[in-house]
Chains A and B, each alone.
Chain A
Amino acid sequence: MNRWTRRGFIAAGSLVGGGLALGVAGLVFAPNRLSRSPKSGDAAAQLNTWIKLAPDDTVTVIVPHCEMGQGAQTALAMMLAEELDADWSRVRVEEAPAEDIFANGYLVRAFAPMAADVPKFMERAVDFGSFRLMQWMEMQTTGGSSSVRGTGQFGMRMAGGAARAMLIEAAAIRWKVPTSECETKLSRVLHPSSNRSATFGELASEAAQMELPSHPQLKSRDRYSIVGRPIPRLDIPSKVDGTARYGIDVTLPGMLYATVAAAPVFGAKLGSVDPAPALALPGVKKVVKLENAVAVVADSYWRALKALRRLTPSFTDTGNGKRTSDALAADIVRSLESDQAKSVFVSGDAVARLGAAAKTIDAEYRVPFLAHATMEPMNATARVATDRCEVWTGVQDPLAARKVAALAAKLSREQVTIYNQQVGGGFGRRLPGAHDFVDQAVRIAKEMSPAPVKLLWSREEDIQHDYYRPAVIARFKGAIDSGGAPTVWISRFSGGRDGAALIPYAIENQDIRAAEYASHVRLGSWRSVAYSQHGFFTESFVDELAHAAGKDPYEYRRDLLKDLPRHRAVLEKAAWISGWGAKPATGRGRGIALVESFGSIVAQVAEVELIEGRIKVHNVWAAVDCGRVINPDTATAQIEGGIVFGLSAALFSEITIRDGRVAQSNFADYPMPKLADAPRITVEFIDSNAALGGLGEPGVPPIAPAVANAVFAATGKRLRSLPLKV
């Protein structure tokens, strides 16, 4: 059941994406769980492919994850090329089409020798925030910092190793020598004792006839020549000259342009709208009524936008039209104070011990709603015919987008094709469950059929119709003994029972509970999901305990991590590279924080100063244990970027609700860190050789508490809500 099938394809196929008729042989791997049989020969067969090895020695790696700047496509190709012993200069990457065969689970199931080998982290629902394993298996998702540690580790390496074994076998047969005498290097099979060699391309069609090895041998780390090196990302050259194509750049013959205004109060439906003011303008083709939105279609985006702004649609009254952030916060407090909180983790007898403690500490922390504000506003281009729907867009899960498009078009999933484009920022906004722009684009295009329609949101629409990071309130009670050691940790927070609220510290009596809370504001996953809030809460409160104990916050944490050597080593490394022991310059303060998330442990030290009443973060030092590093340069970039992303929450951004709707609308009132605000960042990795951890998200959570703790060190002021304001 876990064996593979293979299919050699020979003849004049056209390579996926290239449209080039090569008329040559190649090598194709496919798992046996084909959801449908190829319809028409070779071109279809190629859809189900992870490696294409062409006679000219080009190795094309088909990656079932989107590229949104995280470097996953390059890293995954590196992992495959390493096991294949490919010449990296001949390696190319293509993104897999939205087909079931490229769903996460197919890859994992197909390559893992037994289903039981599905890696542990994939079974832990907390790792994926709102996702669950089985959902994830059926998706083609780029999220949960899972590409390298899931697809790469359990898919790409196996595929590369298997291809290498088949190429060796083909060469051995050709030369009539034992396979054990053959080696591979730089896309060649070598037989050193007879001085013969052949390129992978020369052997490709013969290799395609070999049996697929069920347990291909993988390399030991000491033989790596690609993995572990700072290989330049394959997508970067196109991102410096304007040729990189994102969803927003898609242009089709006869294409119309649309823009949309959804109900400002979440949950409201469109009432009535008089289309006349829009239709009176030149170039306007149609005013389209959607269930909860109105759209204008015109012959240019600008004309569509101008016309949309002349409309005065009415929306239904949901009863939420007077809601404010303060009222929502009061509701959250009520839910925290009710008896409904459900246990996340309990040990010892926290409540009893609190009463008997030498010293107790109470604190309440708050974080607001946040928008993702990806630089590329939401967009999708759709073309709908009676039996077919095509969508060009950039999403973090094209399979999920296909489902959304099929529903909107009233077609079967098989009648829908998603052409996934490069993603101009994801951060969770383009995950499954947040594809409202795809739904809208298809419905609008259906009205305009057969003309294709590009739907583009304004930035205002993007800020006001996101799936927001939840606003959370968390209350803590802690106790320390006469020596300052913590004995009790009690927390109550609003939201789901998320493992992000667990603490790494050795505290005997813990009582961690979650109080479910929902409002009319729609929620989603925001880079690092619940860790972005709980990292702030936990690492601020442990800092408060250290202060109450009169201890150095680094030493205090270190003592509490004595049973977790990896965590402790990361903390020590962050302290070491930041020169923690030395006094910072006058007026400056340093704070430290450590958060484990998505399989990686990250500690950060921030150095801050108050300048004219504003918090200036001068330096951040980060130590990271993600097991081992596939590409040190892109890994570093992910931590650097995570820190700046986290700083947006720590110091800049806040979504508030007024009259039931989002009060902010653009970067003027939803500000972002800029170059002048960016700290100097130093990142170092610890090679623990532990299981691979993720990197897209783990850089985010520690920065807000590190900065808050640094502000406390510099000023004595303990700031307990984000964004931090002195």
Chain B
Amino acid sequence: MQVTLSINGEIRDAEVDADTPLLWVIRESFGLTGTKFGCGIAACGACTVHINGLATRSCAIPAASVQGQEITTIEGLATNEQRHAVQQAWIEHQVPQCGYCQSGMIMAVAALLANHPQPTDEEIDAGITNICRCGTYERVRRAIHSIVQAGASRNVEGA
């Protein structure tokens, strides 16, 4: 069947089986390979994208079911060539190692912070359940805290 998706602000069509997970349409039909395949059962988060602003694991959701919704992949996270605050913090804190899980990790964190600008450690633990086999968690946490702090100080300045 033909699926029509709104992805990173563009409307794109793909001819796929009705049960094809969104991940494979993103990667194979659209060639956006920044979103990764890790497990196929929504357990690891490597395939995380935003659907209407919510972090969603794209390997276990049919593409046909998200037609008409706003999909953002790692390639669409930056705006006007400006890295997203999470991407910037990831560089400052040198978070990635092999980097394979980090597209999904970054998308998960970006969505978490968009919805909880001041998350507690418990909210961070509950909200970020992606697997990183290189074990970058120490830096993931540090980078999240740095974004939260920068956001808090901006809010104070603005007030």
Give the interface segment out of A124-132, A591-599, A636-644, A654-662. A636-644
Chain B residues within 8 Å of A647, by CB: 135
Given A641-B136, A645-B135, A375:B101 Cβ within 8 A: yes
Q: Mark B54-78, 1 if CB is under 8 A from A, else 0.
A: 0000000000000000000111011
Interface of A is mostly: loop
Is A450 located at the chain interface by the 8 A CB criterion? no
Chain B residues within 8 Å of A676, by CB: 125-126, 129
Chain A residues within 8 Å of B41, by CB: 459, 666-668
- State how many angstroms separate the Cβ of B8 from the closest Cβ of chain A: 11
Is B91 located at the chain interface by the 8 A CB criterion? yes
Given A375-B132, A376-B36, A640-B139, A301:B43 Cβ within 8 A: no
Contact B135 A375 (CB under 8 A): no
Contact A424 B99 (CB under 8 A): yes
Contact B128 A239 (CB under 8 A): no
Is A427 located at the chain interface by the 8 A CB criterion? yes
Given A240-B90, A377-B37, A672:B99 Cβ within 8 A: no
Given A637-B94, A675-B124, A675-B128, A301:B28 Cβ within 8 A: yes
Is A673 located at the chain interface by the 8 A CB criterion? yes
Chain B residues within 8 Å of A427, by CB: 133
Contact B131 A667 (CB under 8 A): yes
Residues of A233-261 whose CB lies within 8 A of B: 233, 235-246, 248-249, 251, 257
Chain B residues within 8 Å of A70, by CB: 97
Give Cα A471–Cα B35 distance, bound, in whole angstroms. Answer: 35
Given A300-B20, A301-B24, A641-B135, A678:B39 Cβ within 8 A: no
Query: Which residue of chain A lies nearest to B140 when distances are taken between CB atoms in the complex?
Result: A675
Give Cα A570–Cα B138 distance, bound, in whole angstroms. Answer: 22
Query: Which residue of chain B lies nearest to A672 when distances are taken between CB atoms in the complex?
Result: B131
Give Cα A243–Cα B19 distance, bound, in whole angstroms. Answer: 28
Is A203 located at the chain interface by the 8 A CB criterion? no
Is A232 located at the chain interface by the 8 A CB criterion? yes
Residues of B77-97 whose CB lies within 8 A of A: 77-78, 83, 87, 90-91, 94-97
- State how many angstroms separate the Cβ of A677 from the closest Cβ of chain B: 8
Give Cα A602–Cα B153 distance, bound, in whole angstroms. Answer: 39
Chain B residues within 8 Å of A232, by CB: 91, 94
- State how many angstroms separate the Cβ of B96 from the closest Cβ of chain A: 4
Query: Which residue of chain A lies nearest to B23 when distances are taken between CB atoms in the complex?
Result: A302
Chain B residues within 8 Å of A301, by CB: 24, 28
Contact B74 A241 (CB under 8 A): yes
Interface of B is mostly: loop
Chain B residues within 8 Å of A643, by CB: 135
- State how many angstroms separate the Cβ of A294 from the closest Cβ of chain B: 19
Given A424-B98, A678-B141, A241:B135 Cβ within 8 A: no
Contact B100 A424 (CB under 8 A): yes
How many residues on the A side are at the interface (Cβ–Cβ under 8 A)?
65
Is A422 located at the chain interface by the 8 A CB criterion? yes
- State how many angstroms separate the Cβ of A725 from the closest Cβ of chain B: 21
Give Cα A600–Cα B112 distance, bound, in whole angstroms. Answer: 39
Q: How many A-B residue pairs have CB under 8 A?
A: 183
Given A232-B94, A376-B98, A425-B98, A681:B133 Cβ within 8 A: no
Chain A residues within 8 Å of B94, by CB: 232-233, 236, 633-634, 637
Contact A239 B102 (CB under 8 A): yes
Chain A residues within 8 Å of B74, by CB: 241-242
- State how many angstroms separate the Cβ of B145 from the closest Cβ of chain A: 12
Chain B residues within 8 Å of A645, by CB: 133-135
Contact A239 B37 (CB under 8 A): no
Give Cα A637–Cα B129 distance, bound, in whole angstroms. Answer: 20
- State how many angstroms separate the Cβ of A302 from the closest Cβ of chain B: 5
Contact B90 A302 (CB under 8 A): no
Give Cα A643–Cα B137 distance, bound, in whole angstroms. Answer: 11
Contact A236 B96 (CB under 8 A): yes
Give Cα A453–Cα B102 distance, bound, in whole angstroms. Answer: 26
Give Cα A246–Cα B126 distance, bound, in whole angstroms. Answer: 29
Query: Which residue of chain B lies nearest to A647 when distances are taken between CB atoms in the complex?
Result: B135
Is A474 located at the chain interface by the 8 A CB criterion? no
Is B38 located at the chain interface by the 8 A CB criterion? yes
Give Cα A643–Cα B136 distance, bound, in whole angstroms. Answer: 10
Contact A240 B91 (CB under 8 A): yes
Q: Mark A387-430, 1 if CB is under 8 A from B, else 0.
A: 00000000000000000000000000000000000111111000
Partner of A242, one of B17, B101, B103: B103
Give Cα A244–Cα B103 distance, bound, in whole angstroms. Answer: 10
Give Cα A675–Cα B104 distance, bound, in whole angstroms. Answer: 14
Given A240-B102, A425-B133, A645-B133, A377:B38 Cβ within 8 A: yes
- State how many angstroms separate the Cβ of B94 from the closest Cβ of chain A: 6
Q: Mark A657-693, 1 if CB is under 8 A from B, else 0.
A: 0000000001110001111101011000000000000
Is B151 located at the chain interface by the 8 A CB criterion? no
Contact B99 A680 (CB under 8 A): no
Is B53 located at the chain interface by the 8 A CB criterion? no
Chain B residues within 8 Å of A423, by CB: 98
Chain B residues within 8 Å of A422, by CB: 98-99
Is B106 located at the chain interface by the 8 A CB criterion? yes
Given A70-B97, A424-B100, A241:B134 Cβ within 8 A: no
Partner of B138, one of A300, A377, A667, A680: A680
Contact B28 A300 (CB under 8 A): yes
- State how many angstroms separate the Cβ of B18 from the closest Cβ of chain A: 11
Given A424-B100, A640-B136, A641-B136, A375:B131 Cβ within 8 A: yes
Contact B139 A637 (CB under 8 A): yes
Query: Which residue of chain A lies nearest to B75 when distances are taken between CB atoms in the complex?
Result: A242
Contact A302 B133 (CB under 8 A): no
- 6 closest A-B pairs (Cβ-Cβ)? A242-B34, A644-B135, A69-B97, A239-B99, A424-B100, A69-B98
Binding site for B on A (CB under 8 A): 68-71, 232-233, 235-246, 248-249, 251, 257, 282-283, 300-303, 306, 373-377, 422-427, 456, 458-459, 633-634, 637, 640-645, 647-648, 666-668, 672-676, 678, 680-681
Known: A236-B99, A427-B133. 11 other contacts (CB 8 A): A68-B98, A69-B99, A242-B32, A242-B33, A375-B38, A375-B46, A375-B131, A422-B99, A423-B98, A633-B94, A667-B39
Q: Pull 23 A–B residue pairs with CB atoms less than 8 Å apart, ordered by A.
A: A68-B98, A232-B94, A236-B99, A238-B99, A239-B102, A240-B87, A240-B90, A242-B73, A302-B20, A302-B21, A377-B37, A427-B133, A456-B37, A648-B133, A666-B40, A667-B39, A672-B44, A675-B124, A675-B130, A675-B141, A678-B135, A678-B137, A678-B138
